[in-house]
A and B are shown apart, each in its own frame.
Chain A
Amino acid sequence: EAGVAQSPRYKIIEKRQSVAFWCNPISGHATLYWYQQILGQGPKLLIQFQNNGVVDDSQLPKDRFSAERLKGVDSTLKIQPAKLEDSAVYLCASSHGDRSTDTQYFGPGTRLTVL
């Protein structure tokens, strides 16, 4: 079974530029998550989708971050404009269901460096 795919793996941009990350979840998984992991910390949930609807985006900085999950499959996360403090690894995860007991499967992440 293929895992969660993410691209790009690495991205370096200047502050105030825009960047987009892509995620392809495990086939059949209805729930998709985007996490931000700053160096030395645990992952922090940014947004959770159930199919193509948003379940939780309470920690998404909506003035600069946006995410969509068209057709309930792939998802993109965008930052516009980027700030220095956005430097982090952005992790995508998917799970079959939307309960906290459903195992989340993580992709390899995109490491973003903002200069």
Chain B
Amino acid sequence: SQQGEEDPQALSIQEGENATMNCSYKTSINNLQWYRQNSGRGLVHLILIRSNEREKHSGRLRVTLDTSKKSSSLLITASRAADTASYFCATDGYSSASKIIFGSGTRLSIRP
């Protein structure tokens, strides 16, 4: 079963706009990760946020984590055509030190 569920399933925005994707999960976690998948570069790790962190930045990416609501958001600022991809959140199984479980993803399309 998949732990995280992304929302929306699909998102289409104009180049230069900001894109926000959300991830909700069901059980306690130690950390949450975001991955990007496109046809050119495959599945690539973007950022990891630990359960004791509330916000993290990496370039144009901003991730927030609200453990009380069991949710995370990924914000991409000043979107570019190259950001067109599917974005997945992945949560660790709290009782398992090693396994991560992927959500079903958000498909992001950037219109020129």
Contact = CB atoms under 8 A, between A and B. Distances in A.
Interface of A: 31, 40-45, 48, 55-56, 91, 93, 98-101, 103-109
Interface residues on B, range: 20 to 34
Contacts, number: 59
A42 B98 contact: no
A108 B42 contact: yes
Nearest to B45: A103
B103 A42 contact: yes
A104 B100 contact: yes
B96 interface: yes
B96 A106 contact: no
B30 interface: yes
Contacts of A48: 98-99
A24 to B, nearest CB: 15
Nearest to B40: A108
25 contacts: A31-B98, A42-B88, A42-B90, A42-B102, A42-B104, A44-B102, A48-B98, A55-B98, A56-B96, A56-B99, A91-B42, A93-B43, A98-B97, A99-B98, A100-B30, A100-B92, A100-B96, A100-B100, A101-B92, A103-B48, A104-B100, A105-B45, A106-B43, A106-B44, A109-B42
B31 interface: yes
Nearest to A55: B98
Given A40-B104, A42-B2, A100-B92, A56 B42 contact: no
B101 A45 contact: yes
Given A56-B96, A100-B93, 6 more contacts: A40-B104, A41-B104, A43-B102, A45-B101, A103-B48, A108-B42
Contacts of B99: 45, 48, 56, 100
A91 B90 CA distance: 15
Interface string B70-112: 0000000000000000001010110011111111110000000
Contacts of B97: 98-100
Contacts of B102: 42-44
Given A100-B92, A101-B31, A101-B48, A43 B98 contact: no
